[in-house]
Structure 1
Amino acid sequence: MIRSDRDGAVLTLTLDRPDKANSLTAAMLGDLCDAVEGVGPDVGLMILTGAGDRVFSAGADLDEAKAGLATSPLWERLSGAIAALPCLTVAALNGTLAGGACGMALACDVRLAVPGAQVFYPVARLGYLPQPSDPARMARLIGPARTKLVLAAGARLSAEEALAFGLFDRLVADPKAAARDLAVGAPDHVAAIKAMVP
């Protein structure tokens, strides 16, 4: 389930399946795509987070991954939609970030994580390629060698390593609250500033 909450110019989208590590079914992924693509110009901040206190998302639901969800074009549609938003986008990582869920966090402008969060994107071990835009987005953040370490070698990063690499921007006790505390200006001003940053 994808939960959408609006408070003024702040939109929070929550992956709400904590009993299954917030893993995404095809229906959830489609709903998330629709929610992101429906963000209007009056939104200045979009927060993407997960329910619970251990895992942001384990990526694709295991049963559906085996049935084809692992290579679905919906993942790329979602990350592209997030990256194209004119508002500030924040991944409020309440726990570990794994698998295909990495793409949505990489597409966000800012990544705030709890100190216990880990990053794990085991595509090579599972016999898949990463989402098409993920290697380039990751390399822009952490460089090509470290990107190969994560994607090709399947290295698991601790929160401290991810922060040192530049994959996480801050470690905070409550990422969702920290995201909401960001001093975001008027939506059109935010969009103008984002357009100025290469």
Structure 2
Amino acid sequence: MNETLAHEDLPDGLGLRLKVDVTRPLTDLTAAVNALCDQVAERRATTVVVLELAATPVDFREWPGDVGIQAVNRWERAIRRLEKQAAVTVAVARGTCGGPALDLLLAADFRIGAPGLQLILPVNDGHFWPGMTLYRLVQHLGVARARRIVLWGADLTLDKAAELGLVDQVSEDLEEALHTAAVLTGRISDRETAVRRQLLLEAVSSEYEDALGVHLAACDRELRRLRRTRDASPQNLVGQAAS
């Protein structure tokens, strides 16, 4: 794998960081995301994944380029695998963000944008690319707002992306914003984070009765966790010893 796609440890053991070179072939990008997921899966401690999407002078109007459907399928599955990790994912983007960078940005839990950021929608031969970016836009924005963007092919300025909730924070000091986000989100990175993320996504399409059982199961796990925490508290342990 090219060294520009290698992941590295964040300072203070907060997690892992992947600097994404979007000029690399789709197969390399897929391998990098999968390798990152492998590393996250091996870690038992709280982990934050940071995706650094640097500004790169590349034409995103021909995404994904001359590749076969198998390569596209592997890429989409890698992105989905990243989405389902227990780790919280923070994306940091600057410059022009399109193609694989946009896929990764939309898959992240928390998104930080630098001033001047522009989101370029995926287009191939003048047609909107019908990949899972379309699906994620609907998940994030709803059908009505996503339809306006997709059918009219409008690129999104940073102000518009922030207004729509596609960017959560705007900062000139990306390193400081990144560190703060990693510290805060690291506190909630665990298996239940992945469950809550899935509940959010399924709420868009699931009927109430179908969703009820899954939500009740998540509530039951949380009640059990709170009970274990309470039972293990120093006050309770002292009380048990005294009795």
- Establish whether TM, by shorter chain, passes 0.5: yes
Equivalence for 1:104: 104
Provide, for residues 139-187 of structure 1, a one-character-per-residue CA deviation record: whole Å limited to 9, x for no partner.
2322222212333321111000000011111111133431222234667
Length, aligned pairs only: 188
Point out where structure 2 has 5 or more consecutive residues left out of the alignment: 201-243
Q: In 2, Cα distance between the equivalents of 1:181 and 1:50?
A: 18
Contact 1:57 1:97 in 2 (8 A): no
Question: Structure 1 pair 186/176, CA: closer, same or farther in 2 (3 Å)?
Answer: closer
Work out whether residues 91 and 111 of structure 2, in 8 Å CA contact, stay in contact via their aligned partners in 1.
yes
Query: 1:48 is matched by which residue type in structure 2?
Result: L
After TM superposition, give the deviation of residue 57 of structure 1 in Å. Answer: 7.4
User: Of the two, which has the highest radius of gyration?
Assistant: 2
Which amino acid is the alignment partner of residue 166 of structure 2? Answer: L
Q: TM-score if structure 1 supplies the norm length?
A: 0.78
Supply the distance in 2 between the matched residues of 1:63 and 1:125 (Cα, whole angstroms). 9
Quote the residue 1:155 is aligned against: 154
Give 1:193 deviation, angstroms.
Answer: 4.1
Superposed CA RMSD: 3.0
Q: Counterparts of 1:62-81 in structure 2 under 5 Å? A: 65-68=65-68, 72-81=72-81
Map residues 118-133 of structure 1 onto 2, 5 A cutoff: 118-123=118-123, 126-127=126-127, 129-132=129-132
> Structure 1 vs Structure 2: percent identity of aligned residues?
23
Question: Could you tell me how far 1:112 is from its partner in structure 2?
Answer: 0.6
> How big is the shift at 1:121?
1.1
* CA apart distance, 1:196: 3.5
Q: Match of 1:170? A: 169
Please state how far the C-alpha of 1:28 moved relative to its aligned partner.
Answer: 2.0
Provide the residue aligned with 1:19 in structure 2.
Answer: none
Asked if the contact 1:115–1:159 (Cα under 8 Å) also holds between the matched residues in 2, the reply is yes
Higher strand share: 1
CA contact (8 A) 1:23 1:58 kept: no
The answer for the alignment partner of 2:93 in structure 1 is 93
Are the equivalent residues in 1 in contact too, given 2:84–2:194 (CA < 8 A)? no
CA shift for structure 1 position 71: 6.7
CA deviation vs aligned residue, 1:55-104 (integer Å, no higher than 9, x gap): 497659x6971244897213312220121111110111122211243221
In structure 2, distance between residues paired with 1:73 and 1:169: 28
Q: Which moved more, 1:140-149 or 1:80-89?
A: 140-149
**Counterpart in 2 of 1:4?**
7
Residue 164 and residue 144 in structure 1: after superposition, are their counterparts in 2 closer, same or farther (change >3 A)? same
Shift of 1:32: 1.8
Q: Greater relative contact order: 1 or 2 (C-alpha under 8 angstroms, separation 6 or more)?
A: 1
Judging by fraction of residues, say which structure has more helix. Answer: 2
